[in-house]
Structures are given as C-alpha cells and as structure tokens.
C-alpha cells in the first residue's frame, strides 16, 4: 500500500474512533471494581469503615397505612420527609419524628397503576400512570403532569410486568428528558436505551451491541435495570452480562465503572444462572460505590443423579444476598454476605443493609429494618439488648406488624 494512502487511512480511522468516543462511548474517568477477588474472600464488614454515626426513626403506623413488609420497599429522604415507595403506595413521614404525613396518589384509574421512584433532582415522585403514560406528583400530593412514554416502550411485552410489579425501567435525566431502558429479552433488541422528551418524542437512541440467540427461548427475563443518581447525574447498570455502569445524558452513554466479574459474569445468551451475580442496588457518594447483589456460592451438579435406579434431581441452594463497597481512594473492594455486617458503632446488630438509598445532598445512606426483624432480634439476644443505649432499648416495644424503623447512616 502506498505510504500516503496508509497515512490518510490512519487519519480517517483515528478521526472516526474519536467521534465514536465523543458521541457514544466516552469514558467517564472509568474505574475498575474487582469483584472477583473480593467475592472469593468474603469477609465481615464493619459499619465504622464507611459510616460516622447512626440515627433511628420509627415510622408511625397510621390506621390502615402500612409500609409493605418486604424489602421491595424503597425509602428515600430529603430535608423534610422520608418518602416510602412500594409498588402499591407512596407514603410520606416526617423526617425528624417519623410521624405519618400523607399518601401521594392512589392505585386506580384516577391515580397510578404501580408506584415508581423519587427523583432527588426535581423533588417529585414518578409512578406508572398507564401503559402509555407516567404520572408525576409533588410532595404535597398534587399531580404535576403526565409524561408520555415513547411508542416502542409501551408496546413492549415487559410493560405488563412493569405495571404489575412496579419496577419502572426509566428515570428522569433532567426535568424535560427521560431515559428508557429496552430489555434485550430475546437477544435481538437493537436498542439499549432510548432518550425521549416528556411528550414521548425520541431524541436519542443508544444501540445494543449484544445480539445473540437465547439458549432457552421459551422463557423470558424481565429483570429491571438498576438506576441511581449522584451529583445531579443519572447512572444505569443494565444487566449482568454487561459489566459496566454507565452515566446517561441526553447525548451520550459514558462508561463510569467497570465491574470485573470474571467467572461470575452471566453470559448474555443465558437468562439466569444461580452462580452469577445479579445486582439489585447501586449507589455512591464522594468516597464509595455501594452495591447489593444476589448469588449462590455453593456449587451444585448440573446433571441428573440416579440412586438405586431412581432419578434424583439435585437440590439447588437458595440465593444469598451480598453487600459490598468500593473505596475510591484506596481502590479496594470489600464484600460481606448477609448477616456479616458488624455494627460496631452502637452494637445493634439487627442492622443489615438489604434495602437502601443514598441521599447525596446530605451524604446519608437511608436503610430500613422491618419491625418483625427487630422483634426477633430482641427475643434472640436478651443479654446484648441490656447493653444497648436507652434510645435503642425502646425499640423492644415494637410489634411485628408495625411500620419499619428507618436507619439514617451518616457516611464518611
């Protein structure tokens, strides 16, 4: 090849590659989080490693209003309220006292069909209004607007599962722009994320590079993506076969963290594998990236076993939940199995970080402990309970059916 032609081709390639990075794959100061080494060395995690202090607020049990008694409930906070959201209701409680304030919206034709999320940037709640619309409320309970979904989104088969179980696959990028995740259920989705305005017009499409044939085409996966907000920005982790957390803007999808999963990364063509990581929560502050995922560490045979001429199916161990964090300063990652988080701040070991959100403005991790778990802890640990501060001993008066206790952990 002529040297001048080779020189020109090199220039064209470099120009094209640079433009590709600028418009769709620009790195966002990409860091690598080594999950493999940390998972192979699961250990106890001490709260004092990343938490300065803890405060407990009992949510008032108000008449028929009960926060859903499972860890699908998300509790957010701002300066004045705790905002508790599960698929069927949205409740506000006073941040200082835990006193019930109001419900927002209602299930039914005049409200929403499944609850959604609290947007810290707009200070509003977004829920599923219908198959074609989102409905937005302010914290006074007033419906502020209805947001039209783009046509491709509401025609998806996943819409049924979203409306039934409340796992919204979208978040606000800003007050006028929404990012919609397109699940690659059957391996042939051309889009990964669609950015649309509040009227449903698509402004930008980020293509999905993962095209494949499912090993089990008769089963569909509807696992939602994981969204979180940090420093006014929106971040998304799409699925376990894509090992990257992205920052989403109106114009770009930028790699933010590479989650090194090694043999625990799920192949895209397989819908599920109990020995792969399945993330269900992510969040970060200035110093840490926090995460929760489920996985089954115990090995089990993938073949049938015959004993004395009879077919015996192997027993698959249940999924286990794990909490961990990445320290941005040291570059280290630590992971603890559920039950291995040591509260060395006030020794109230009922605290386990299963369901939580991050209030970046106040640098707080907001978690909950269900009343039934607190009752169980006091029954099983009478000697430890005697050594608790008086403010915590008062929690022994809760009943199993009461509303949860909010844990406000001030982060380092």
Map out the domains of the chain as residue ranges.
32-411
Residue 226 has pLDDT above 90, yes or no: yes
Strand (E) or helix (H) holding 38: helix 35-40
Place of tokens 């202090």: 53
pLDDT value, residue 249: 97
pLDDT value, residue 303: 37
Reduce the DSSP state of residue 78 to 3 states and report it: coil
- Mean pLDDT of the 314-318 span: 49
Which of the pair, 25 or 37, is modelled with greater confidence? 37
Instruction: For 376-389, give the secondary structure using H, E and C.
Output: HHHHHCHHHHHCCC
- What rounded mean pLDDT belongs to the chain? 82
- Mean pLDDT of the 197-221 span: 80
On whether the CB atoms of residues 255 and 206 are closer than 8 A, the answer is no
Residue 287 has pLDDT above 70, yes or no: yes
Q: Which of 337, 360, 353 is nearest to 407 (CA)?
A: 353
pLDDT value, residue 203: 97
22-26, 38-42, 65-69, 194-198 — which is least confidently predicted?
22-26
- Mean pLDDT of the 4-24 span: 42
Percent of the chain with pLDDT over 70: 78
On whether the CB atoms of residues 168 and 126 are closer than 8 A, the answer is yes
CA–CA separation, 202 and 178 (whole Å): 9
Sign of CA dihedral 289, 56, 138, 68: positive
- Write out the two tokens for 206: 């980020």
Place of tokens 């005697």: 386
Helices (H) and strands (E) in the chain, counts: 7, 29
Which pLDDT tens digit goes with each residue over 70-102? 556 889 999 999 999 987 889 999 999 999 999
- Write out the two tokens for 354: 């299963």
Residue 239 has pLDDT above 70, yes or no: yes
Reduce the DSSP state of residue 17 to 3 states and report it: helix
Sheet holding 177-181, edge to edge: 170-174, 177-181, 191-197, 202-207
Domain 32-411, what fold?
A: Neuraminidase (2.120.10)
CA–CA separation, 226 and 238 (whole Å): 6
Q: Which residues are within 8 A (CB) of 3 and not within 5 positions of it... i.e. 6 or more apart?
A: none
Percent of the chain with pLDDT over 90: 54
Residue 116 backbone dihedrals phi, psi, to 5 degrees: -135, -100
Which pLDDT tens digit goes with each residue over 127-169? 988 878 999 999 999 999 999 999 865 445 555 555 555 568 8
Estimate to the nearest angstrom the gap between the alpha carbon of 218 and the chain centroid.
Answer: 27
CA–CA separation, 345 and 53 (whole Å): 7
Which of the pair, 322 or 158, is modelled with greater confidence? 322
CA–CA separation, 298 and 279 (whole Å): 18
Residue 277 has pLDDT above 50, yes or no: yes
Sheet holding 114-119, edge to edge: 114-119, 124-128, 133-138, 143-148
Reduce the DSSP state of residue 251 to 3 states and report it: coil
pLDDT value, residue 16: 39
Q: How confident is the model at residue 233 (pLDDT cuts 50, 70, 90)?
A: very high
Which pLDDT tens digit goes with each residue over 339-362? 689 999 998 988 888 889 999 999
Distances 40 to 35, 260, 264 between C-alpha atoms, Å: 8, 13, 11
């Amino acid at each position: 090849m002529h040297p001048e032609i080779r020189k020109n081709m090199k220039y064209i390639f470099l120009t094209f590659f640079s433009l590709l990075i600028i418009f769709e794959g620009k790195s966002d100061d990409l860091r690598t989080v080594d999950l493999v080494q940390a998972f192979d060395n699961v250990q106890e995690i001490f709260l004092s490693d990343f938490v300065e202090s803890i405060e407990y607020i009992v949510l008032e049990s108000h008449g028929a209003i009960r926060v859903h008694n499972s860890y699908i409930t998300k509790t957010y906070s701002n300066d004045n309220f705790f905002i508790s959201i599960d698929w069927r209701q949205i409740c506000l409680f006073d941040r200082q006292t835990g006193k019930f304030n109001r419900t927002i919206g209602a299930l039914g034709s005049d409200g929403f069909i499944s609850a959604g999320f609290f947007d810290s940037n707009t200070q509003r709640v977004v829920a599923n209004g219908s198959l074609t619309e989102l409905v937005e409320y302010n914290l006074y309970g007033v419906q502020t607007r209805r947001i039209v979904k783009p046509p491709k989104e509401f025609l998806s088969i996943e819409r049924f599962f979203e409306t039934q179980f409340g796992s919204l696959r979208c978040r606000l990028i800003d007050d006028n722009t929404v990012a919609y995740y397109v699940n690659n259920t059957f391996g042939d989705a051309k889009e990964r994320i669609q950015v649309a305005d509040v009227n449903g017009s698509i402004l930008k499409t980020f293509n999905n590079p993962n095209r494949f044939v499912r090993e089990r085409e008769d089963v569909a996966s509807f696992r939602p993506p994981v969204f979180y907000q940090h420093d006014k920005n929106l971040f998304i982790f799409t699925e376990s076969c894509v090992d990257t957390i992205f920052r989403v803007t109106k114009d770009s999808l930028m790699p933010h963290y590479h989650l090194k999963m090694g043999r625990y990364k799920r192949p895209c063509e397989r819908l599920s594998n109990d020995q792969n990581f399945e993330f269900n929560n992510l969040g970060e502050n200035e110093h840490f990236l926090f995460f929760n995922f489920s996985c089954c560490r115990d090995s089990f045979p993938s073949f049938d076993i015959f004993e004395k001429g009879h077919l015996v199916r192997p027993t698959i161990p249940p999924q286990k939940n794990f909490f961990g964090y990445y320290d941005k300063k040291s570059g280290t990652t630590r992971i603890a199995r559920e039950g291995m988080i040591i509260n060395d701040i006030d020794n109230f070991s009922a605290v386990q970080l299963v369901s939580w959100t991050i209030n970046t403005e106040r640098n707080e991790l907001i978690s909950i402990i269900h009343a039934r778990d607190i009752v169980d802890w006091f029954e099983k640990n009478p000697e430890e309970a005697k050594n608790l501060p008086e403010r915590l001993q008062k929690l022994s008066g809760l009943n199993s059916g009461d509303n949860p206790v909010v844990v406000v952990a001030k982060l380092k």
